[in-house]
Structures are given as structure tokens and as C-alpha cells.
């Protein structure tokens, strides 16, 4: 019998405890590192330092940290080892650790990914991952099972934040609706049995904050999904337009910023890069809380 706490319930508990719906993206890019890290000869060591210090800076104001796998994988085994250490450190610090890897494949392959990312004790254990939906429901099903067994979660890319999302996600089906509506319905259906006491499912959805005009309809299609909403910060999304993503308690979504927090030192003179990241995260939390009060 499964006694693991529901992922959505764990996330909601942290959100309410620290009064924050902020997710900070950790995209370790040496080209954007502050001088003291950019000058390091060992880029892998600099990446390790960057992640640990970023987490230390934002741990009191961010509900979650999202680690972009590509920025680690490009270094090969040494980078993967740093990713494993960062994921473990985030979870030990009480942060919700999201691995942004956007996996999507046939069922037996996805079961192997589950073992890699959502199985307790795995080297790359995270609290949740991002998934690509192109394979269909049988590609999501293994993660749905694994999430239920281990108290983990996942976020299906329904409507991404990038400009060319219209190339595929907005293509019209025979009934005139965009493809992302069908993906939303699939996400809700596959994750229906993962709803916790909070009223939200451990199966969430990536919904770009850069497309606020579609949020209300997606909330209708996915009433029990927590939205992971990238696009605030460097991509310029306005948190004041995201109201339909949230319920009357102020729950229902994480507002995610990567470069806008991690590399805030570029816009904030007179601060260390760690202080600049902390202040940027605080400013984002304040902006979200003012626009969308939490109860």
C-alpha cells in the first residue's frame, strides 16, 4: 500500500508555509556567469558552485527550483554528477526539486526514465519532471503510475512559452480546436487518480505565462492540474494577467523565472550575484502576491 504523501499536497504545503508561488530556474550557463565564476578554468566546478549558491540565495523565498538538464548533460558524466548533487541538495533544503528534461517516449522506455528520476534513492531523484506529450497517453501512463507509488509529480508540456509554439501546439484539429486543447484533456484524464487532499493532481501542466489569453480556457480543461508557468522575467510575461490560473485561495500555479533571477546581477549594480538573485526572487514573490493574494 502506498503511504507516500501526494506531490501536489507537498507542493501546496510549501507554498502556504512560505507564502510563495515562485519557481526559480537553474540554467547554469557559463556565458552568463558573474566574473568570479566565469573566470574559473573548470566550467564544471563553476557550474557546481553556481547551483549550490543559487539555492542558498533563494531557499527562503522560492517554493521550487527547476533544473534544466541540458546545461548539465553537455558536460557529460561530470555534469550529470553535478546535477545529481544539485537535485539532492535542493530536496535536502526543503525546496521542491523539478528536473526539466521534457522526456517523451513509448511506455517501456518511459518506465526506465521513471526509475532514473522518480524512484526513491535514484542518483537523479527529483520531486517532479517535465514531460513531452507527443507520444500520447501511453507515454504518460508509466509516470502516472510511478508518481502515485512514490509521491512524485510531473508537468506535461501543454502550451509552452516560446514564440514558435504556434507551429504545432496551435494547429487546428477537425473540430476547430487547437492541438493543445487535446493535450490538456489527455493530461487531465491520465492524472485524474493522482488528486490529493489539496484538490490538485500530482500530474501538472506546463503553461507558458507568455500566453495569458489561453490560461482561462486551459484552467477549464484542467481544473485539477497545477500549472508550471515559465516566461516571467527575461521573456517578459506579466504576472498580473495570470489570475485565471489560480483559485480563490491563490493556489494552482507556480510562476517560474530562470535568467531573470539567476542572472539578476547583470541589472543590479552594487550587489553580489547571490544578493541580486535573492532580491529578484523576493521581488517576484512580492509581485505575484500583490497581484494574486494567497490565503
Domain spans of the chain, in order of start: 7-291
Residue 128 to residue 141: CA distance in whole angstroms: 15
The per-residue DSSP string of 53-83 comes to HHHHHHTTT-SEEEEETHHHHTTTHHHHHHH
Please give the Cα distance from 50 to 189 (Å, whole number): 39
User: For 182, left (φ over 0), alpha (ψ -120 to 50), or beta?
Assistant: alpha
Catalytic site includes residue 19: no
Q: Which residues of the chain have pLDDT under 70?
A: 1-2, 233-236
CB 6 within 8 A of CB 150: no
pLDDT at 162: 86
CA–CA dist 170, 178 (Å, integer): 5
| pLDDT tens sequence across 108-131 | 999 999 999 999 999 999 999 999
pLDDT in tens, 180-201: 999 999 999 999 999 999 999 9
Give CA–CA dist 129/103, Å, rounded. Answer: 8
161: nearest Cα among 247, 98, 227, 70: 227
What are the helix (H) ranges across the chain? 7-18, 35-38, 43-58, 70-73, 77-92, 107-117, 137-150, 179-190, 215-221, 259-262, 273-291
Prediction pTM value: 0.95
Q: Who's near 144: CB < 8 A, 6+ residues apart?
A: 154, 190, 191, 193, 194, 203
The answer as to CATH 3.20.20.70 being correct for domain 7-291 is yes
Catalytic, out of 66, 102, 152, 159: 102
- Whole-number pLDDT of residue 233: 62
Question: What is the spatial distance between Cα 144 and Cα 131, in angstroms, rounded to a whole number?
Answer: 11
pLDDT one-digit tens code per residue, 194-233: 999 999 999 999 999 888 899 999 999 999 999 999 987 6
Amino acid at each position: 500500500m502506498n503511504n507516500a504523501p501526494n506531490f501536489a499536497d507537498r507542493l501546496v504545503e510549501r507554498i502556504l508555509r512560505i507564502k510563495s508561488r515562485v519557481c526559480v530556474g537553474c540554467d547554469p550557463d557559463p556565458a552568463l556567469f558573474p566574473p568570479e565564476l566565469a573566470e574559473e578554468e573548470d566550467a564544471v566546478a563553476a557550474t557546481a558552485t553556481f547551483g549550490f549558491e543559487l539555492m542558498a540565495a533563494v531557499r527562503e523565498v522560492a517554493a521550487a527550483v527547476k533544473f534544466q538538464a541540458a546545461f548539465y548533460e553537455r558536460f557529460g558524466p561530470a555534469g550529470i554528477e553535478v546535477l545529481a548533487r544539485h537535485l539532492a541538495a535542493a530536496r535536502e533544503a526543503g525546496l521542491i526539486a523539478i528536473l526539466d528534461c521534457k522526456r517523451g517516449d513509448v511506455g517501456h522506455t518511459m518506465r526506465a526514465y521513471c526509475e532514473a528520476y522518480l524512484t526513491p534513492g535514484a542518483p537523479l531523484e527529483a520531486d517532479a519532471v517535465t514531460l513531452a506529450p507527443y507520444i500520447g497517453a501511453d507515454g504518460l501512463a508509466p509516470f502516472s503510475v510511478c508518481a502515485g507509488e512514490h509521491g512524485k509529480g510531473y508537468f506535461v508540456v501543454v502550451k509552452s512559452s516560446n514564440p514558435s509554439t504556434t507551429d504545432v501546439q496551435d494547429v487546428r484539429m477537425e473540430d476547430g480546436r487547437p492541438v493543445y486543447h487535446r493535450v490538456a484533456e489527455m493530461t487531465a484524464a491520465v492524472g485524474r487518480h493522482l488528486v490529493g487532499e489539496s484538490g490538485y493532481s500530482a500530474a501538472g501542466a506546463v503553461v507558458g505565462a507568455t500566453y495569458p489569453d489561453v490560461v482561462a480556457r486551459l484552467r477549464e480543461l484542467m481544473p485539477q492540474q497545477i500549472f508550471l508557468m515559465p516566461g516571467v522575467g527575461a521573456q517578459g510575461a506579466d504576472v498580473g494577467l495570470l489570475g485565471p490560473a489560480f483559485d480563490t485561495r491563490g493556489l494552482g500555479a507556480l510562476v517560474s523565472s530562470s535568467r531573470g533571477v539567476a542572472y539578476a546581477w547583470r541589472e543590479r549594480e552594487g550587489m553580489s550575484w547571490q544578493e541580486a538573485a535573492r532580491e529578484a526572487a523576493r521581488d517576484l514573490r512580492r509581485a505575484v502576491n500583490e497581484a494574486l493574494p494567497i490565503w
